[in-house]
Structure 1
Amino acid sequence: MTTASTNPPQPSTSEKTATLYRMVMTEHMCPYGLKSKDLLERRGFKVEDHHLTTREETEAFKAEHNVETTPQTFIAGQRIGGYDDLRIHFEIDKPEAEQSDTSYTPVIAIFAMALLMALAVSYAAFGTIFTLRAFEWFISISMCILAIQKLQDVEKFSTMFLNYDLLAQRWVPYGKIYPFGEALAGVLMTAGALTWLSAPVAIVIGGIGAVSVIKAVYIDKRELKCACVGGDSNVPLGFISLTENVMMLAMGIWMLIRYVG
């Protein structure tokens, strides 16, 4: 470790040497500085690690190099920039102008965890993952996790939901009721309790949701964000949201048939 120099970094004699300036203070250690150092080392660079140990030293460094943030990485005397710039330099990420604002990562994570949880519960209860109940739990647990995403900020969810849900557009409070209904149905279906209540709730909200998505996306051809994973979603409205609603509808009908039968 070395302290920050007031002199601009000179070109390195080795292509695999990088100079890093990052904040390391008693009250604050910059996480992006640590991530930059780790990334450089994983890419085979020897890191000349300069610590900015005071606010005054940090502000002087930023003024000297005309930058607004730290950390800052220099390779072969050329300033690369902060952690995000470093990822772009190594072609891990694309430049912001080329990045898509669409991401399916939250949905993939939710359904993957729901599946694993369902299989785990099935194994704990029956000693095997290959059960019909595991499939039922997968759907009900998915509903619970999706409800959690919405319940984190009901106001944002309901605002996005109003863009396409047919019932919410006619009766605005439904947008705030929906996540509670999904949570209730998911919990009761996971427990296998009060099917007379959970099944109709799932059928109603799933059916209305499916029709709303079909109309907005496949009939009206509108390009909207899906509220299925909350109000900050970057998931496009379409197949994912339709799948969520069809799953609820199908689960509700299935559970009702089993209950009546």
Structure 2
Amino acid sequence: MTHTYQIAGMTCSGCQHKVQTLLSQVKDVRNVDISLAEGTADITMGRHVPTSALQDALKDFPKYQLSEAAHNHMASMEMDDIESRSWLATYKPILLIFGYILTIALIAGYTAHGFMTMTAMRIFMSGFFLVFSFFKLLNLQGFADSYSMYDIIAKRFRQWGYIYAFIELGLGLAFALDIQPFTVNLITFIVMSVSLIGVLQSVLNKRKIQCACLGAVFNLPMSTVTIVEDALMIVMSAVTLFSVF
């Protein structure tokens, strides 16, 4: 699991190295990734390490003050609450959404000449992006905050979260209108592949954070379900790209 902490008092690369070394010596700490610019430390643990133990590691250097990041603390509490629910109760919103989108896509795929697989896929992808962008736009700032916790681009460029929501909206409209299928599917493949990297890192590191796929409306944990979402879009866009050639 990986948790994010605020660290005050770091002013140079020497400070960064000192803090990283001290925290790395704490029992059960696997990795320490410090951002000097943001004054944060992403600490990966083999098992949970109390904040007090991390603070004790810096006690000989009082100018370095470690504290839990506010959004990380709240997210951790929310994830603890989510973990007490059943799998079905946790993922009910996303299962219902997928069910509705799949039903519409299947209906659209049936014609007098038989079932049109590519049409069904296009409508499914349109529905996916339109619905998911809708939930992100309901609370754009909340989505950007959640997304910046794990996406490899949003971590360094927070505005990417705002841009990403509108990219999804644009892709949804483009798929619905069947505009420039090659270009649209290529963009989908690239954007979703990049997004998947951050998701995989979070799941493999067992980070207890909220998935931003449905914005800040539903408290869904980052899990293999999120991987399946992104992978499904990547596979569908790849299939369509090959069919265009």
Q: Quick check: TM above 0.5? A: yes
Asked whether the equivalents of residues 120 and 129 of structure 1 are also in contact (C-alpha less than 8 Å), the reply is no
Inter-CA distance 99–202: structure 2 relative to 1 (3 Å threshold): same
Deviation, 1:188, is 1.4
Q: How does 1:1-261 map to 2 (within 5 A)?
A: 100=85, 103-123=90-110, 125-126=111-112, 128-129=114-115, 131-218=117-204, 220-259=205-244, 261=245
Deviation, 1:113, is 0.5
Indicate the SS of the match to 2:221: coil
Following the alignment from structure 1 to structure 2, what is the Cα–Cα distance between the partners of residues 134 and 199?
15
Deviation, 1:240, is 2.1
Identity percentage of aligned residues: 25
Q: Which runs of 5+ in 2 are unaligned?
A: 1-80
Asked whether the equivalents of residues 139 and 217 of structure 2 are also in contact (C-alpha less than 8 Å), the reply is no
Asked whether the equivalents of residues 224 and 236 of structure 1 are also in contact (C-alpha less than 8 Å), the reply is yes
Deviation, 1:135, is 3.2
Following the alignment from structure 2 to structure 1, what is the Cα–Cα distance between the partners of residues 236 and 170?
14
Deviation, 1:126, is 4.4
Following the alignment from structure 1 to structure 2, what is the Cα–Cα distance between the partners of residues 127 and 231?
42
- The 10-residue stretch of structure 1 (134-143 or 224-233) with the greater mean CA deviation from structure 2: 134-143
| TM-score normalized with structure 1 length | 0.56
The structure whose Rg is larger is 1
Compare relative contact order (CA 8 Å, sep 6+) and give the higher one, 1 or 2: 2
Count of aligned pairs between the two proteins: 163
Deviations 1:101-157 (A, max 9, x none): 97211101110010111122223x446556342133223322221111111111111
Following the alignment from structure 1 to structure 2, what is the Cα–Cα distance between the partners of residues 185 and 210?
17
RMSD (Å), alpha carbons: 2.6
| TM-score normalized with structure 2 length | 0.59
Q: Which runs of 5+ in 1 are unaligned?
A: 1-95
Deviations 1:6-33 (A, max 9, x none): xxxxxxxxxxxxxxxxxxxxxxxxxxxx
Partner AA of 1:253 in structure 2: A
Deviation, 1:191, is 2.7
Partner AA of 1:178 in structure 2: Y
